[in-house]
Amino acid sequence: MKISEMRDMTIDELRSKATDFSEEICKLKIQHGIRPLENPSVFKNLRQKIAQINTVINEKQH
């Protein structure tokens, strides 16, 4: 998802996306505890997406 796509979404949609990404991080942490992931950089990418979403939400609120 690109920043331009995020800016077109409403605040509620952005919050639900951030929640989805957070849940995905939790699921991946559990899977990683059982057996190592092939690509652990997925955590970093998801955290970056959440940060981008939060930035867009802050921009829209001000």
Q: Give the pair of three-digit tokens for residue 58.
A: 């802050």
pLDDT at 9: 93
pLDDT at 62: 83
pLDDT at 23: 97
Q: What is the dihedral of CA 30, 33, 38, 43, to 10 degrees?
A: 50
Spell out the alpha helix ranges (H) of 1-62: 3-8, 11-34, 42-61
Indicate the burial class of 39 (C-beta count within 10 angstroms; 0-12, 13-18, 19 or more): exposed
Q: Which domain holds residue 13?
A: 3-61
CATH number of the domain enclosing 16: 1.10.287
Q: Give the global pTM.
A: 0.88
Identify whether the C-beta of residue 11 lies closer than 8 Å to the C-beta of residue 60. yes
pLDDT in tens, the chain (62 residues): 788 898 999 999 999 999 999 999 999 999 999 999 899 899 999 999 999 999 999 999 98
What's the domain count of the chain? 1
